[in-house]
Structure 1
Amino acid sequence: MKPYIGVGIAVGALAGVWTQISVELGLITWVAFVAWACFFAAGGNRAGFSKGLAANLSGVIYGWLVALLTSWAQFPGALAIAVALAALAMCLQAGWAPLSFIPGAFAGTAVFFGTQLSFWPSATALVIGAGLGWVSAILGERIQALIGNGPAAPATDEQKRAVETA
């Protein structure tokens, strides 16, 4: 078996549970999957959680600022200028380590616009998605260990240190 079986089982099970719960509670299902993907893309574990989620939430704020600016400035090109300034800011913020995951900021902005400017529902689902990412990584490692093929995915330096100190 490949070393991704554990994480695949964990992600699959949690994705099904999340989908059912989110639909029943009226939460935005797909937004959590964006944050979940950002968790893994940002490196997983604590770093992926904090960098991915911080960048996602900053992106929601940038989207909100774009919407706010364009509600005040209603001239041709206002949206383009606001988006250009937000994109610049999302790249510049990467100079600060907690916000250094540029794709996460763009994903957060896209989520905000994709939810038709729903700030709190977007932010809530992003937080839940990042949490699901972390839980799926932990469960994936445990499942993989149970089936006897080592870690669920290539271990990060943080994972290696945790195993060595355990």
Structure 2
Amino acid sequence: MKKPEAYTVSIGVLAVVDTWLTGTIFPVPVWVTFIAWASFFVLGGGNAGFVKSVASNLTGLVISSLTLLGIATMTTTPFGIAVAVGIGSALMVQASKIRLLDVLPAIVWGFASTVGTTVASGRPITTAGIGNPALVAAAALVTGALFGFASEKLGDALSFKRTHQLS
């Protein structure tokens, strides 16, 4: 099968698995797994893309968590929240100076996924235990990267390589 078709099958089938898993036995936001899945491919795929994607996404998650913690403990005014987000945004840019984290959007995806998970769950960042939105988002981000890796491997296995035959 040609590579585009192989990836179509691979990603389509694994999207079913991901959606079913997150909707039943592993309740993390499926949209976060899809963001991390896309991040894996944007960062080049393979082992290096997996490591870079997870590192970048989780860096954004940590910066977001610190930003949300600052908001939760220091301010609830719109201006205070805006300043905290500005500081978090500046930290993301600084983090992208590190070679492993040099694709800024991948850091931003981790940041946004954490904020989104916090809002969607209705749980503050200060929630103790397994329901903490940062832990939930982290699990979803790593899961998405794993689905990216698996879909790439399966897509490659399903595709054929043209060989030149001599007459």
> Which interval holds the TM-score relative to the shorter structure?
0.7 to 0.9
- Counterpart CA distance in 2 for 1:15 and 1:149 is 28
Q: Does residue 127 of structure 1 match 2:118?
A: no
The one-letter amino acid of 2:58's match is L
Percent identity, aligned pairs only? 32
CA deviation map 1:5-25 (0-9, x unaligned)? 111111111010111111112
**Per-residue displacement from partner, 1:73-115 (whole Å, max 9, x unpaired)?**
2245111111111111111111211212211111111111111
Deviation at 1:71, TM superposition (A): 1.7
Q: Deviations over 1:126-163 (max 9, x none)?
A: 10100110111111111112xx558xxxxxxxxxxxxx
How many residues are treated as equivalent by the alignment?
Answer: 148
Equivalent residue runs for 1:85-104 within 5 Å? 85-104=87-106
1-structure distance, mates of 2:139, 2:39: 15
Instruction: Give the structure with the higher percent helix.
Output: 1
8 Å Cα contact 1:18-1:29 kept in structure 2: yes
Tell me the residue number matched to 1:107. 109
- Give the TM-score taking structure 1 as reference length: 0.83
Alignment partners' CA distance in 2, 1:18 and 1:10: 12
What does 1:47-62 correspond to in 2, within 5 Å?
47-62=48-63
Distance 2:56 2:139 in 1: 14
Structure 2 portions without partners, runs of 5+: 119-124, 126-132
> What runs of 5+ residues in structure 1 fail to find an aligned partner?
151-166
Residues 2 and 149, structure 1, Cα contact 8 Å, conserved in 2: no
**What is the rounded CA distance, in whole Å, between the counterparts of 2:162 and 2:83 in structure 1?**
52
2:32 & 2:50 partners in 1: Cα distance? Answer: 15
TM-score after normalising by structure 2:
0.82
Q: Which residue of 2 aligns with 1:154?
A: none
Secondary structure at 1:131's aligned position in 2? helix
Q: Give the residue type in structure 1 aligned to 2:93.
A: C
2:129 is matched with none
Find the aligned partners of 1:11 and 1:3 in 2 and give their Cα distance: 12
CA distance 1:79–1:130, shift in 2 (3 Å): same
Whichever residue aligns with residue 156 of structure 2, its letter is E
